[in-house]
Amino acid sequence: MRDFTIPKWVKKNMFRYEGVNGLSNEFYSSISKRFEKFHCENPDVSIVIPAWNEENNLARTLNSLSFIETKYNVEIIVVNNNSTDKTQELLDRCGVKSFFQPKQGISFTRQMGLEMSKGRIELCADSDTIYPSTWVDGFVEALSNKEVTCAYGKYSFIPPKKTPRPVMAVYEMVSNSLFSLRRKRREDLNVMGFNFGFRREDAFKVGGFNLERTIWEDGWMALKLSEIGKISLVKTKNSSVWTLARRLEIDGGLFKSIYKRFKKEIPRLGEYIFKKDIKY
């Protein structure tokens, strides 16, 4: 059942702050204490987050991840992609393991995360998304099936200002019809970079992230992984996340985004059904 309201656990993590100095010493002390358990030498799972100038968003994502509960050993890594704001200071004060990627671009950033992580399974996250404490286990279960090479989860939008949550819920319901159609033949197009995972050995088998791509690096990885195995949707709500609707804002708002998607997807319907080549 689609959420027509924002759950309390999401609201708890949607606190407002202005930059590194907008967070209290108590916040930094408590979150760094919670992150100690993620500094393990032999993790089963690596959660990797790319970040570029996310000083004003990342604290909310990190706070949600700091409450992860799982029986598996987990490491959390943030790859700072040449940020010019105080993203690095925020990471350091939160006690988060991080690496600096001077080459600008999401593909370079995700590839560094793949190379520097140590877990058997890698889960890809983003800096503007809120994660439930139960996020990890559904992915580990899906990827325990050797036939599955890529797993992805469901998501909901945190609405932009002046957009009621019920409106976003209806938009998501309509979008799900498209996702269901894609699942038959082009499920890789459903994979989003803020909520998917794979076994690292499989990612290296397909050559890692495509460094020539400036966008859709997540879908490309899913596409290549689908060539050596199956893509699986993690259906449990325990692995469903909430993300900011920044893409909709970039498109000019909800209705302009719907129109843009309509123009893009209608000509592709036959491709989804008959699996013809799609231009990326």
249 inside domain: no
CA 179 to chain centre: 17
Higher pLDDT, 10 or 171: 10
Q: Which domain holds residue 53?
A: 24-155+191-238
Q: Is pLDDT at 252 greater than 90 in this prediction?
A: no
Asked whether residue 166 is domain-assigned, the answer is no
Q: What is the pLDDT of residues 92-142, one digit of tens each?
A: 999 999 999 999 999 999 999 999 999 999 999 999 999 999 999 999 999
Residue 31 lies in a domain: yes
Number of domains in the chain: 1
For residue 84, with 0-12 CB atoms within 10 Å meaning exposed, 13-18 middle and 19 or more buried, which class applies?
A: exposed
Average pLDDT of every residue of the chain: 90
First-residue to last-residue Cα distance in the chain: 33
Q: Would 9 be classed as within a structural domain? A: no
pLDDT in tens, 51-69: 999 999 999 999 999 999 9
> What pLDDT, on a 0 to 100 scale, did the predictor assign at position 280?
46
- H-helix segments, the chain: 8-13, 25-34, 58-65, 87-94, 106-116, 135-143, 165-185, 200-205, 217-226, 246-250, 254-265, 269-274
Residue 121 lies in a domain: yes
In a domain, 256, yes or no: no
Q: What is the CATH number of the domain that holds 113?
A: 3.90.550.10
Share of the chain above pLDDT 70, in %: 87
Instruction: Report, as an integer, the average pLDDT of 196-206.
Output: 98
Q: Is residue 165 part of a domain?
A: no
Is the pLDDT confidence value at 254 over 80?
A: no
Residue 16 lies in a domain: no
The candidate with the shortest Cα–Cα distance to 133, out of 71, 51, 218, is 71
The distance from CA 263 to its chain's CA centroid, rounded to whole angstroms, is 26
Element holding 100 (H helix, E strand): strand 97-100
Query: Is the Cβ–Cβ distance between 33 and 39 less than 8 Å?
Result: no
Span 229-241, average pLDDT: 96
